[in-house]
């Protein structure tokens, strides 16, 4: 089943994705988009790796997620992927990459994203554009997924489809 998990920062999205995939997938693939740009991010990545069972085959791909996507996979996470495009000043490429991803979206995938529409409007133009783009990406992915789950304080809520 195609599942999109969204929610605020530190709402339990990644942990829930691992739990859900562990119940629903026979094989385990993990597509990680984060890059260690600074010591804080390096530590966050290290801690996320510790959460993953050894049976997961992890592929790290910060940009070309459409080329790295596999069946029975967790894709974690869309905001970091978009951030990577912005960081490299390649943000204009997101529609094409996302289009290719959607065109080959596996039957069984759990995609992790952040819900940005519940916060304040950023002050600077680049951050506003990023939030607008992430909102657009989320809408496209939600339309393509069978199930959308919103995480609030570690509690999953079914937005589309039903909880497993």
> What is the torsion angle, in degrees rounded to the nearest 10, for the CA atoms of residue 100, residue 21, residue 76 and residue 161?
70
Which distant-in-sequence residues (6+ apart) come within 8 Å of 108 by Cβ? 1, 2, 24, 25, 71, 72, 73
Distance in angstroms (rounded) separating the CA atoms of residues 34 and 59 = 11
Which of 21, 33, 48, 68 is catalytic? The answer is 48
Give Cα 12 to chain centroid, integer Å.
13
Measured distance CA(113)–CA(125) in Å, rounded: 21
* Active site annotation includes 131: no
CA–CA distance, 129 with 89 (Å, rounded to integer): 13
Cα distance between residue 164 and residue 162, in whole Å = 6
Residues annotated as part of the active site: 48
């Amino acid at each position: 089943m195609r599942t999109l998990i969204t929610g605020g920062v530190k709402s339990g999205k990644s942990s829930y994705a691992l739990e859900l995939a562990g119940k629903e997938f026979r094989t385990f693939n993990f597509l990680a988009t984060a890059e260690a740009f600074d010591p804080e991010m390096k530590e966050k990545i290290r801690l996320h790796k510790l959460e993953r069972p050894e049976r997961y085959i992890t592929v790290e791909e910060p940009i070309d997620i459409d080329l790295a996507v596999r069946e029975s996979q967790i894709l974690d996470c869309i905001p970091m992927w978009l951030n990577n495009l912005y960081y490299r000043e390649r943000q204009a490429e997101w529609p094409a990459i996302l289009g290719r991803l959607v065109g080959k979206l596996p039957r069984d995938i759990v995609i992790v994203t952040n819900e940005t529409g519940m916060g304040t409007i950023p002050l600077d133009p680049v951050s506003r554009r990023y939030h607008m783009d992430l909102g657009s990406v989320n809408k496209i992915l939600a339309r393509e997924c069978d199930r959308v789950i919103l995480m609030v304080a570690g509690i999953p809520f079914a937005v589309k489809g039903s909880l497993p």
